[in-house]
Amino acid sequence: MEHKVQHYSRFMIVLHWLTALCVGIAWLLSEGGPAVVRNPPTWHFMFGLAVLLLVVPRIGARLAGGAPPLDAGSPPLLQLAAKVGHGVLYLFLIAMPLTGWYAASALGIPVTVFGVALPALTDPVQPPPGFVAELHSTGGSVFLVIAGLHGLMALYHHFVLKDDTLRRMTL
């Protein structure tokens, strides 16, 4: 019988790569310190908020069965690592934009999307930057490391284990 790759749904695949792109751009456009207040990185906010916008239908699609079952042939420990790892990635995809939005509000910076101001999530705090802003900035570095390891794992599956993991996430 011909070998058949079990793919994620097309919708989830598109959302996965769009999300990775937005996270990468948000990260590249991130700034810290007093410069953020003086000259808010509006594109950092917008790409970050896009991540939040994309994760909502993605979780819906996942709950609706858009993800194939994990490769039953792979070692149980690797399957567990994938489950936990993916859960942590989803957590960051939700927590990063929300803490960023909250941090901007706490710093007294208006968050605008194409010139339209979004509501502040909290009142400005004194002195800046505040706990959530610190959490967000540190979280950004942690996220990069985790997402990087995740990408490396995908490449390890593809080139070393030579299984279908990466193909599952391609159209």
Strand-pair partners of 117: 112
How buried is 159 (Cβ within 10 angstroms: 0-12 exposed, 13-18 middle, 19+ buried)? Answer: exposed
In single-letter form, the type of residue at position 32 comes to: G
Q: Does 132 sit near ligand HEM (CB under 6 A)? A: no
Identify the residue among 15, 54, 107, 135 touching ligand HEM (CB under 6 A). 107
Q: Does 143 sit near ligand HEM (CB under 6 A)? A: yes
Tell me the number of residues near ligand HEM by CB under 6 A.
Answer: 49
Q: Which two tokens stand for residue 96?
A: 């990063």
Q: Residue 162 to residues 59, 74, 100: CA-CA distances in angstroms? A: 28, 11, 38
Quick note: the x/- pattern for ligand HEM over 26-55, rule CB under 6 A, is: xx--xxxx--x-------xx--xx-x----
Instruction: Please give the span between the terminal C-alpha atoms of the chain, in angstroms, as a whole number.
Output: 22
Instruction: State the residues that interact with ligand HEM by CB under 6 A.
Output: 16, 19-20, 23, 26-27, 30-33, 36, 44-45, 48-49, 51, 62, 67, 70, 82, 86, 89-90, 93, 96-97, 100-101, 103-104, 107, 109, 111, 129, 133, 136-137, 140-141, 143, 147, 150-151, 154-155, 165-166, 168-169
